[in-house]
Amino acid sequence: MDAFLHVSEKDFEKEVLQSAQPVVVEFGAVWCQPCKQLEPVLAKLGQGWNGKARLAKVDVDESVNLAMKFQVMSVPTVILFVNGKATARFSGFQPPDKILKKLGL
């Protein structure tokens, strides 16, 4: 089973911005090598969040408007949304301890 909820422009509002719990969104692309390295790390971290946060993924090639709206200039870019607001973000591959520190989870 995929650890990530796949989100597009049509359901981003409902699944991320209106989510009752924080959502960690990875903006990536199928051709992106660092994204492929980062995703298993995020998935493993996500298992330890025990419902404190959800993991979602946006394909920037399919959801160009979302990428522009959140100023995603490079992939992967990970943004933490809490109560519909972007509260933390980082770009590129990061080790697990740095990810946890940046996201505060």
Q: Structure tokens of 35?
A: 């994204």
Catalytic residue among 16, 24, 25, 32: 32
Q: What is the dihedral angle through the alpha carbons of 20, 24, 30, 34, rounded to the nearest 10 degrees?
A: 180
35 tagged catalytic: yes
Catalytic residue among 16, 35, 79, 103: 35
32 tagged catalytic: yes
| Contact assessment for residue 54 and residue 24, using Cβ atoms and an 8 Å cutoff | yes
Tell me the one-letter amino acid at 37. Answer: Q
Contacts of 21 (CB under 8 A, 6+ apart): 51, 52, 53, 54
Task: Give catalytic residue positions.
Answer: 32, 35
